[in-house]
Amino acid sequence: MTLLSIRKVYQGIADRRQMFRMFDRHAKRPSRFQDDATALYRGEWFEINQAGHDYMFEVLPPLWMPGDMFALREFLTGNVTSVFFSLKIDGQFRYFHGYCDLSDRGSPAQMRDTIVERESRPVRAMTREERLEHIWSATHDQYRAYADWRYPGPQRGKRLVMNFAAGGHRDFDLLDQLTDAQIAGKLPVHLRYLPDAIAA
């Protein structure tokens, strides 16, 4: 899976339940305890509500807190930890969570700037990658999986989502190989017809 360096992984505002689920949306991967997951998490971000932001601020004393962001002192993997943002965009405060690799000192500021640029677009649009990431984030665990020994070697470990066909037939398909029609069918109506955006 090729990952963009900084990527939005959920469209809309995650409530508290969804926020906690999103903190580890790769928890079921088969190599969870064997691999270095830094590249998998680094750069992921999504919007949360103010209540979620404030709750996380009160959980533990922050690792650091410069201005409009704070970092948790508990690291998810390697040097990657949660950074929470309170950003004024188009005159309104909005709240975000992102995973930053603190071995790169500029990572939090770069993520903040990317979020502001992405969320300041005058026309709502989504890239294909954002559509796929939203589908993965919004799909419940029983309807998503990872390719196992039944798949050819290069496909093993890749993400799968369940698709339903005519006649009640269902099967898992590789997430990154979904057709445009399959993607549209898995998105909520308010996201289905957004124009394509060019990846930054």
Dihedral Cα 62, 66, 70, 74, nearest 10 deg: -50
Find out whether 162 and 174 touch, Cβ atoms under 8 Å: no
pLDDT confidence of residue 1: 39
Q: Is residue 1 part of a domain?
A: no
In a domain, 2, yes or no: no
Mean pLDDT of 151-175: 81
pLDDT at 94 over 90: yes
If asked whether residues 140 and 72 sit together in one domain, one would say no
- The answer as to whether 200 is a domain residue is no
Answer whether residue 136 shows pLDDT above 80: yes
Domain boundary (119, 149, 177) is at: 119
Q: Are residues 93 and 50 in the same domain?
A: yes
Q: What domain count does the chain have?
A: 2
Residue 197 falls within a domain, yes or no? no
The verdict on 14 and 49 lying in the same domain is yes
Give a yes or no: residue 184 inside a domain: yes
Same domain, 144 and 180: yes
- Residue that finishes a domain, picked among 93, 119, 145: 119
Within-domain flag for 199: no
In the predicted structure, residue 118 carries a pLDDT above the cut 60: yes
Type and span of the H or E element at 59 = helix 50-59
pLDDT band at 50 (very low <50, low <70, confident <90, very high): very high
pLDDT at 37: 75
Q: Look at the block and give the residue holding tokens 């390697």.
A: 78
- Residue 113 domain boundaries: 7-119
In this structure, the answer to whether residues 151 and 102 fall within a common structural domain is no
d(CA 178, CA 174): 7
pLDDT digits (tens, 9 = 90+) for 142-159: 888 888 888 888 888 889
Percent of the chain residues past pLDDT 90, beyond the cut: 36
Identify which has the larger pLDDT, 34 or 77. 77
For residues 114 and 39, state if they share a domain.
yes
Q: Average of pLDDT values for 48-59?
A: 93
101, part of any domain: yes
Residue with more model confidence, 125 or 71 = 71
Q: Which of 75, 96, 119 is the last residue of a domain?
A: 119
> Higher pLDDT residue, 4 or 108?
108
**Looking at the predicted structure, is the pLDDT value of residue 97 above 60?**
yes
What is the pLDDT at residue 200? 45
* Residues in CB range of 160: below 8 A, 6 or more apart: 144, 145, 146, 147, 172, 173, 174, 175
Per-residue model confidence (pLDDT) at position 145: 86
Q: Within this chain, do residues 36 and 97 fall inside the same structural domain, yes or no?
A: yes
Residue 3 or residue 86, greater confidence: 86
State which H helix or E strand residue 117 sits in. helix 107-119
pLDDT of res. 4 = 53
Verify that 113 and 139 share a domain, yes or no.
Answer: no
Report d(CA 186, CA 171) in Å as an integer: 14
